[in-house]
Amino acid sequence: MPGMVEHYCDRLNDAVRRCGTPAVVGLDPVLENLPPLLRPRDRRAESAARAVAAFCRGVINAVAPHVPAVKINIGFFEPFYGAGIEAYGETIAYAHERGLLVIGDVKRGDIGSTAALYARAHLDDPPFEDIDPARVPDAITLAPYMGVGAMQPFIETAARLGRGLYLLVRPSDPGADEVHEFGEGPRFYEHLADLVHRWGFSEELLGRCGLSCVGAVVAPKDAESTQALRELLPHTPLLVPGYGAQGATMEACRPLFRADGTGAVVNASRSVIYAYNQPRFALRAPEDWTSAVEEAAREFAADAGRALEPA
Amino acid sequence: MPGMVEHYCDRLNDAVRRCGTPAVVGLDPVLENLPPLLRPRDRRAESAARAVAAFCRGVINAVAPHVPAVKINIGFFEPFYGAGIEAYGETIAYAHERGLLVIGDVKRGDIGSTAALYARAHLDDPPFEDIDPARVPDAITLAPYMGVGAMQPFIETAARLGRGLYLLVRPSDPGADEVHEFGEGPRFYEHLADLVHRWGFSEELLGRCGLSCVGAVVAPKDAESTQALRELLPHTPLLVPGYGAQGATMEACRPLFRADGTGAVVNASRSVIYAYNQPRFALRAPEDWTSAVEEAAREFAADAGRALEPA
């Protein structure tokens, strides 16, 4: 029913404007890095999953006043098996309760028939009465390497429910270059960008803002190729990894925004959520770990906010 | 400790020889396709996960006498959230109990730091006392598009524990061609095959049989390109999708085996596990669904067994 649901990009733009920043905090919880206070007391997956969920609630409370969205990477929850997936779902629901948009970083990608099941699992409203509907994220990341048939179930679900997709086009990991850059002629990421643009550019997939629900993950590299990717993807909302611990600056990310400052969000994970391990945030008391996270989130939000100023 | 664990390919070869077939049955359980007897009576994810697990136990009982291994696709369990992941784990453990090798079809792929967590979740021995160690599969599928850094945690774990990996090189889905075939010069799947060969070809990764624990998923297409891929991957064990419901014959798969009949296993999913829906297996009673599955598994095993005969 068109008109009934608000487009993902319109919701995201509103949230970015309200917070004055396109900063997204990535929740990548690793058990060994949790504040000592929160570490589990026994060797049960259930306890580990609860510890990670408690950590994420603390981070969410600290960052919710400063950023429009969090990105939650399911890979950090899967080591706790079923209990981990429950903790992932509870973390999404908790972020929603605190008014945040949520990107589920799941990077799924499988052939058409399986893709339909993954779309049910990660993007569609749950058809079950024992599952909290708030545990579905507003957008997810996907691996597009199986072609449009593998993306179609996700695109349909996203369009129907006002949710979004970010398809991997240019990953931040330097090691990905040996896979993506070979032969002569067009680069693989340019070819992917072209496909993602075509898959997402149709009237029923665009929001009021002119952006599609089919987005892309694009890491900033040299200025020229970064700018070229933005031009290949004129209607594509971008999720930009690599800021902070991975080394990219807002300067490097700037070409990925549209002239009006919309069109991209920038993620930082480790540099924010583990701020309490940085010497510059000397803690007075172990409970103070959340103040360090809040301070790091505030700094990140302010730095990323510069992208919203007219270029 | 070298010598302590048996190499995945040596274990797989023994099992294939014992059964006389390289046939692998794929468990892709979809709720709507289950025998009516097994369908859940309420709208709870927990009940749905139990129904799917019960179906998989029935299929495993029916196919265990005929094939060396099953492939379990986690995508069909994720729609049931945490309960689904528990059902996935229980299904793996049950297949092990029945003497089958298990390939976990998870297709994970993320940058290095996250990859380490995915390797813990899907391939490593569980460090938790409430997790059954039998729920870890013998091999998993992976998406290699993030480069060697993203594969390294999996390769190390596989080598250490005698487990295997199958990296997506040429998917069976026809839609993947628009992603993998572009520009002039080498095809993307040839480039991937070259990388997979290089990542897996080192002495400490090879078994007695001369095959590596780093394998590949290669769908048969035309005879020429299929044969060329086998030559690019001389030490790589192959997992071959596309047989049965997806249309490939054993004739088309034959070039993917080495001359001695080793080096590949062939998967069939829907044509076996849903055999009871085929008119040719008219059921006398609803409980008979497993006889239809067993008969289809027997036929598939016999057909695939031809690959072991000298070429």
- State the distance between the two ends of chain A, measured CA to CA, in whole angstroms: 38
Nearest-angstrom CA–CA distance, B195 and B216: 11
- List CB contacts (< 8 A) between A108 and chain B: 75, 107
For chains A and B, CB pairs below 8 A equal 212
Known catalytic residues of A? 107
Q: Is residue B2 part of a domain?
A: no
User: Beta partners for A170?
Assistant: A218
- List CB contacts (< 8 A) between B131 and chain A: 45, 81
Q: Do B75 and A168 count as a contact with CB atoms less than 8 A apart?
A: no
Q: Is residue B3 part of a domain?
A: no
CB A293 within 8 A of CB A6: no
Q: Is the pTM of this model over 0.90?
A: yes
Active site residue B221: no
Q: Is residue B139 part of a domain?
A: yes
Nearest-angstrom CA–CA distance, B273 and A108: 24
The helix-helix angle for A223-232 and A188-200 (nearest 10°) equals 30
CA dihedral B25, A149, A155, A255 (to 10 degrees): 120
Q: Is residue B311 over pLDDT 70?
A: no
Query: What is the domain range of residue B161?
Result: 8-305
Distance from CA of A8 to the nearest CA of B (A): 22
Q: Where are the alpha helices (DSSP H) in chain A?
A: 8-19, 45-63, 81-97, 112-122, 148-161, 177-180, 188-200, 223-232, 250-253, 270-273, 289-305
Q: For residue range B188-245, what is the model confidence (pLDDT) as tens digits?
A: 899 999 999 999 999 999 999 999 999 999 999 999 999 999 999 999 999 999 898 7
Of B45, B75, B121, nearest to A114 by CB-CB distance is B75
DSSP annotation of A126: P
Under 8 Å CB-to-CB from B104, ≥6 apart: which residues?
B71, B72, B74, B88, B92, B122, B123, B137, B139, B140, B141
Residue B44: exposed, middle, or buried by beta-carbon count in 10 A (0-12, 13-18, 19+)? middle
Q: Is residue B47 part of a domain?
A: yes
Distance from CA of B260 to the nearest CA of A (A): 31
Pull the structure tokens for residue B19.
Answer: 């059964």
Q: Is residue B310 part of a domain?
A: no
Q: Is residue A107 part of a domain?
A: yes
User: Beta partners for B142?
Assistant: B108, B167
CATH number for the domain that contains residue B60: 3.20.20.70
Nearest residue on chain A to B89, alpha-carbon basis:
A81
Of A73, A109, A173, nearest to B150 by CB-CB distance is A173
Nearest-angstrom CA–CA distance, A137 and A118: 13
User: Beta partners for A305?
Assistant: none
Nearest residue on chain A to B131, alpha-carbon basis:
A45
Largest CA distance in chain A: 57
Distance from CA of A259 to the nearest CA of B (A): 30
Q: For residue range A247-296, what is the model confidence (pLDDT) as tens digits?
A: 889 999 999 999 889 999 999 999 999 999 999 887 778 889 999 999 99
| Residue ranges with strand state E in chain B | 23-27, 69-73, 101-108, 139-142, 164-170, 214-218, 238-240, 264-268
Q: For residue range B259-305, what is the model confidence (pLDDT) as tens digits?
A: 889 999 999 999 999 999 999 887 778 889 999 999 999 999 999 99
Which of A131, A192, A270, A274 to probe by mutation at the B interface, max B CB count within 10 Å?
A131
CA dihedral B64, B66, B70, B76 (to 10 degrees): -80
The percentage of residues in chain A with a pLDDT greater than 70, rounded to a whole number, is: 98
Q: Do A130 and B184 count as a contact with CB atoms less than 8 A apart?
A: no
Q: Is residue A3 part of a domain?
A: no
Nearest residue on chain A to B123, alpha-carbon basis:
A79
Nearest-angstrom CA–CA distance, B31 and A87: 24
Of A78, A143, A192, nearest to B121 by CB-CB distance is A78
- List CB contacts (< 8 A) between A43 and chain B: 127-129
- Mapped onto helix, strand or coil, the DSSP state of residue B66 is coil
Catalytic-role residue among B17, B39, B107, B221: B107
Q: Is residue B22 part of a domain?
A: yes
For all residues of chain A together, what is the average pLDDT? Answer: 94
- List CB contacts (< 8 A) between B80 and chain A: 121, 128
Global ipTM: 0.96
CB A182 within 8 A of CB A201: no
- List CB contacts (< 8 A) between B78 and chain A: 85, 117-118, 121-122
Output the CA angle A74-A80-A83, nearest 5 degrees: 90
- b/e code A85-112 from CB counts within 10 Å (16+ = b): bbbbbbbbebbbeeebbbbbbbbbbbbb
Domains in chain B, number: 1
CB A104 within 8 A of CB A122: yes
pLDDT tier at A198, thresholds 50, 70, 90:
very high
Distance from CA of B171 to the nearest CA of A (A): 7
Of B75, B126, B150, nearest to A110 by CB-CB distance is B75
